[in-house]
Amino acid sequence: MLKIIILGAGSRGGVYARYATENGAQIAGVAEPNRERREAFCKKYDVPKDRQFDTWQEALAGDKYADAVVNSTLDRVHYASTMAALDKGYHVLLEKPMSPVEAECRAMVEKAEEKKLILMVCHVLRYAPFFEKLKDVIDSKQLGEIVNFQLTENVIYWHFAHSFVRGNFRNEEVSSPWILAKSCHDLDLLVYLIGKECKKVTSIGNLMHFKPENAPQGAPKFCLDGCPQEKTCPHFAPTLYLKQIREVSWPTTMISTDTSLSARYEALKSGPYGRCVYQCDNDVVDHQSAIFEFEGGTTATFNMIGFSSENTRTLRVFGTKGDLRGHLEKGELEITDFLTGEKELIKIDYTTLISSHGGGDSRLTKDFLDAVAGSTSNQKTSARVSLESHLMAFAAERSRKEDRTIVL
C-alpha cells in the first residue's frame, strides 16, 4: 500500500486525497494550517495523530515515512515545499502552477531529474477523454496539417468573482498572474495537442471591470452591510454562498469549514468572500488574449474571459484537409471534411466519468500512483513537459506588460 502525505487539505488537496485512497493509497500525514479543516480531513482519512501538522515544514521534518507527497499548498509555497520533499526522497504530485517564478520552475525540474524522482504537475486535462479523443483526431491527420488552433477558456462569472476577485488567486503578489494560475492548463493543452514547440508570443489584456471606480453607488465594503444594489448585482455574495441549505458544495464549502447556514452567514459578515467585488485587493486581469506561433508556422489564439454564462472550454481547429469545432461541457467534437463536405459528430460518454475536469482528476491521480509504484503508467505529463506551458505563460505576461512580442 502506497503512503502519501498531503500538503494543504483544502479543495484540491481533498480531491487528490479522495482519489488516492479510492485507488488503494493510505494518507500517512497531512499539513494544514486551518485547524477545523485539518481535524475534519484527519477524521475522514484516519490520519495518525502524530502525523497531523500545522505546517508543511513539520510534515516533512524527520525521517521519511511515506512514498510520495501531494503538494496542494498555495502557489508561492510550491517551490520551497517541493524542493524540501524532493530532498527527502519523496515523489511529488504538484498542483499547478509549479511556481510564479520562472527560475523556481526550472530548479524544481532539475532537482527531480537529479534525484531521479517523479515530479508530476496536475495538468489533469491531458487525462480527460475529450482531449484524449481530440489528440487522436489531430494525430491521425484527418484534419491535415494544423494551421490554426483557437481555444477559449470561458470562466463563468461567479467562479471568476469567487477565485480571482475575492479568493486565493486574486492578487499576483499572493498567487500568480491569471494566465498562469488558471490557464497554464490551456497552454499545456496547446503544446500537447499541436505537438510542436512554441516560438513566439504576443498578448494583451487588463483588469477592466472589478475596480473601485465601478462599484455601484452606495455599495459598502461587505455585501451584508446593507448594499442598496443587492437585487441588481450579479455578484452579491449571499446569492452565491447562502442559497444552498443541506447539500453544500464547492465553492460554498470554501468560505467556512462549518457549512451550516448560520456559520456561512457569519463568514460573509467580515471574511474575504463577503467583500464587495469592486472593493477587494485584486489585481489580476479579468480578460486576456494571446497569440502563439509554433514551429512550422502553426498559430494558436487563446482567450480567457471571466464574464461567461458557461464554465467550459470551446475550441476551433483549422487544418489543411478539414476543420473541427469542440465544446468540452457538451462533450462534442464536430469534424468537417473539406473534400466531401461531410460532417462527423463525436460524442464523449460522460456518464462513466467519476471526477471533475472532464474525468481528468481521478485518472491523473491513478497514473501518478502507478508511476510511483513502478506499475504500468501512461505518464502523459511530467515537470519537464509542464515547464513549456509555464514558459509560454511567463512570456505572455511579459508581452502584455511590455507591449511587445516575446521570442522564446
* CATH value at residue 11: 3.40.50.720
Model pLDDT for residues 252-280, shown as the tens digit of each residue: 999 998 999 999 999 999 999 999 999 99
Using pLDDT thresholds of 50, 70 and 90, give the confidence band for residue 60.
Answer: very high
pLDDT at residue 376, rounded to an integer: 64
- Residue 50 near residue 63, CB atoms below 8 Å: no
- Half-sphere exposure (Cβ direction) of 259: Cα atoms closer than 13 Å: 15
Give the end of a domain, one of 87, 121, 155: 121
Examine the domain organization and report whether 394 and 305 are in the same domain: yes
Examine the domain organization and report whether 178 and 294 are in the same domain: yes
Using pLDDT thresholds of 50, 70 and 90, give the confidence band for residue 378.
Answer: low
176: CATH: 3.30.360.10
Question: How many domains in the chain?
Answer: 3
Residue 349 burial class via C-beta count within 10 angstroms: exposed 0-12, middle 13-18, buried 19 and up: exposed
Examine the domain organization and report whether 197 and 239 are in the same domain: no
Examine the domain organization and report whether 357 and 376 are in the same domain: yes
Examine the domain organization and report whether 253 and 293 are in the same domain: no
Residue 272 burial class via C-beta count within 10 angstroms: exposed 0-12, middle 13-18, buried 19 and up: middle
Q: How far, in Å, CA of 161 to CA of 153, rounded?
A: 15
Q: What is the DSSP string of 157-201?
A: HHHHIIIIIISTTS-TTTS--HHHHTTHHHHHHHHHHH-S-EEEE
Choose among 332, 368, 326: nearest CA to 350.
332
pTM given for the model: 0.92
Give the end of a domain, one of 91, 121, 151: 121
Examine the domain organization and report whether 337 and 364 are in the same domain: yes
pLDDT at residue 233, rounded to an integer: 96
Examine the domain organization and report whether 108 and 172 are in the same domain: no
pLDDT at residue 351, rounded to an integer: 82
pLDDT at residue 377, rounded to an integer: 60
Examine the domain organization and report whether 152 and 166 are in the same domain: yes
Between CA 18 and CA 24, with CA 23 as vertex, the angle to 5 degrees is: 100
Examine the domain organization and report whether 268 and 317 are in the same domain: no
Model pLDDT for residues 212-268, shown as the tens digit of each residue: 999 999 999 999 999 999 999 999 999 999 998 888 999 999 999 899 999 999 999
Question: Mean pLDDT over residues 323-351, rounded?
Answer: 96
Q: How far, in Å, CA of 129 to CA of 275, rounded?
A: 38
Choose among 138, 116, 99: nearest CA to 326.
138
Give the end of a domain, one of 95, 121, 147: 121
Examine the domain organization and report whether 93 and 169 are in the same domain: no
pLDDT at 352 exceeding the cut of 90: no
Give all strands of the β-sheet with 91-94 in edge-to-edge order.
Answer: 52-53, 26-31, 3-7, 68-71, 91-94, 119-121
Examine the domain organization and report whether 392 and 326 are in the same domain: yes
Q: At what angle do helices 383-402 and 102-115 cross, to 10 degrees?
A: 170
- Which three cell numbers, joined as nine digits, stand for 366? 491513478
Q: How far, in Å, CA of 229 to CA of 216, rounded?
A: 7
Examine the domain organization and report whether 224 and 303 are in the same domain: no
Alpha helices in 23-128 (DSSP H): 35-45, 56-60, 78-87, 102-115
Share of the chain above pLDDT 70, in %: 98
- Residue 316 near residue 143, CB atoms below 8 Å: no
Domain range enclosing 243: 212-274
Using pLDDT thresholds of 50, 70 and 90, give the confidence band for residue 71.
Answer: very high
For 157, list phi and psi in degrees, rounded to 5: -55, -40
